[in-house]
Amino acid sequence: MPTNLELLSPAGNLEKLKYAINYGADAVYAAGQSYGLRAKSSNLTLDELREATKFCHSKSTKIYITVNIFAHNRNIEGLEKYLKYLAELKVDALIISDPAIFALAQEHAPNIDIHISTQANVTSWRSVKFWADLGASRIILARELTISEIKEIHEKVPEVELEMFVHGAMCMSYSGRCLLSSFLNGRDANQGFCTQPCRWGYKLVEPTRPSQEFPIEEDDYGTYILNSKDLCLFDRLEEIISAGVTSLKIEGRMKSLYYVANVTRAYRTALDLILAKKTVPKKLRTELDKVSHRVYTEAFFDSFNSMSTQYHKTSSYIRSYQFIGEIVETSDQVKIAIRAKFSVGDEIELIFPNPNDDRKIIVENIYDEDGNSIEFTKPNTNIILKLNEAIPENGIVRMKKNEN
């Protein structure tokens, strides 16, 4: 097994970045305010990029910055200055898909590693070698590869680091190259502004009868004909490691900090157990069901079968647990920054970077910051719980949703 195996987590903002690292990521990927493919994520300002890089390096963690748009002429202006700034920060790598940006990065940030984005659609060992010969140190493989293909790529080009997605949302188009959002909304997915029209339900309208809508059906499943399932390769980690993959990547820069923390923690714990040649408990896999997700799939892992990745009934998320807050102080009492409501008498769960520290409690008391007893919480407030026990830092609070 590779000695440089890496768990790579998303960092949509500075807060999520810190949770990803505290919950076990070896590296994070983030973006500035421009040139990345998640423009709807809050992303990082220039000052935050500096703070993030400093924080990551203080924790012996790497930070990779996405500069993976497909550049038009208007995008070139400003890139030189931005790349020089990232070089000054000494970020650990740039994630790039466009050859023009690749060349600019080599010119203006020559000491920063370049990782080729999944948007470049690398699906063969010859493509890997092509980019490596140009100077790329790592290839983020297209999601459309089987594990046998990945293994062959590693055998043919063993000197190149390989990164693959193991968890998170998938695109109905080929490795994210899609024009649907541009066509329907005028917002270009290849510039970072995807509105995800593949998640919508559709009906058919005939021009001469505009008031009549006809349902589009596939085998009576419904109208979500373009909707993808979510990727989950948790049960295939040993095979992935054996195939020569260096970096295991979690998707989700636009997901909640709870998602980032809990998914990172589950994969971190599993990888540590595998590397120690210990059994991964089945209950660890259930943690992935406790974050917001769509129906899971192993996608193209065993064979290229696009039908296995689509889900036609609904595009809605499955949410069995509610993220209700972050623990922000752990002195003689617990202060929680509230995201959602809970009440006296509810059972809540406190989770921490080490799963052995988790605990469930029945809420017996809630106090506001002035010390007044209250019966329930309100979002965007801070509350106090008196637990009469010491707890670790960086905790997150969740609650099982009422099935009724």
Alpha-carbon span 402 to 404, nearest angstrom = 5
- Supply 127's token pair: 């493509």
In a domain, 49, yes or no: yes
Domain end point (choices 299, 332, 350): 299
Residues 262-286: tens digit of each pLDDT: 999 999 999 999 999 999 999 999 9
Check which CATH number belongs to the domain holding 372 and give it. Answer: 2.40.30.10
| Number of folded domains that form the chain | 2
Residues 11 and 151 in one domain: yes
Alpha-carbon span 144 to 302, nearest angstrom = 11
- Supply 170's token pair: 């998938």
Beta strands in 85-226 (DSSP E): 93-96, 113-116, 138-140, 161-169, 203-205, 213-215
Band the pLDDT of 170: cuts 50, 70, 90: confident
In a domain, 75, yes or no: yes
- Residue 77: the pLDDT is 86
Residue in this structure with the two tokens 């400093």, named with its chain if needed: 54
The order of strands in the sheet holding 321-330 is 359-362, 347-351, 396-400, 321-330, 334-338, 382-385, 367-368
Residues 70 and 122 in one domain: yes
In a domain, 343, yes or no: yes
Count of CB atoms situated within 10 Å of the CB of 135: 13
Alpha-carbon span 30 to 399, nearest angstrom = 29
Q: In 3-state terms, the chain is what percent helix, strand and coil (to 5)?
A: 30, 25, 45
- For residue 335, the enclosing domain spans 321-400
**Which pTM was predicted?**
0.86
Check which CATH number belongs to the domain holding 34 and give it. Answer: 3.20.20.70
In a domain, 179, yes or no: no
- Of 83-87, 175-179, 340-344, the range with the lowest mean pLDDT is 175-179
In a domain, 196, yes or no: no
Residues 151 and 53 in one domain: yes
- Residue 388: the pLDDT is 80
Q: Are 234 and 285 in contact (CB under 8 A)?
A: yes
Residue in this structure with the two tokens 């500096």, named with its chain if needed: 50
Percentage of the chain lying above the pLDDT 70 cut: 82
Residues 41 and 131 in one domain: yes
Residues 20 and 152 in one domain: yes
Residue in this structure with the two tokens 């896999």, named with its chain if needed: 285
Four-point Cα dihedral 113, 119, 123, 127, nearest 10: -50
Alpha-carbon span 146 to 143, nearest angstrom = 8
Residues 381 and 281 in one domain: no
Residues 393 and 244 in one domain: no
- Residue 14: the pLDDT is 96
In a domain, 183, yes or no: no
In a domain, 169, yes or no: yes
Domain end point (choices 299, 329, 360): 299
Compute the average pLDDT of residues 118-129: 95
Residues 30-76: tens digit of each pLDDT: 999 878 665 555 789 999 999 999 999 999 999 999 999 888 898 88
